[in-house]
Amino acid sequence: MMIAVPEAEWDEFETQSAPELSQTLLRMAADINPARLRKHPRKPKKKTRKGYVSGAEARRHVATARVLRGQEST
């Protein structure tokens, strides 16, 4: 944090006790909008078209053993 905030800015927090520091941080956090701190706002997903398969092809049964042997029958 010393890189982002100069050392002089930390002086007021160093003298506070733990309860005082927690109250200060809670007051600061109440004014923060988390949506503004996001690096990348999410975009809507692109719609993808599903491929067309005929009903007969979709309902056709093939035995797994035949597929594994490479002898698919019609």
Q: Are 20 and 12 in contact (CB under 8 A)?
A: no
| Distance, CA of 31 to CA of 28 (rounded, Å) | 6
Domain residue spans of the chain: 7-69
Residue 74 pLDDT level (bands cut at 50, 70, 90): low
Residue 72: CB partners within 8 Å, gap ≥ 6? 62, 66
Res. 40: pLDDT tops 90: no
Six token digits for residue 46: 């692109």
What pLDDT sits at residue 20? 94
SS3 of the chain: helix, strand, coil, percent, to 5: 50, 0, 50
pLDDT digits over 2-34, tens only?
678 788 888 888 889 999 999 999 999 998 888
Q: First-to-last CA distance in the chain?
A: 69
What pLDDT sits at residue 72? 60
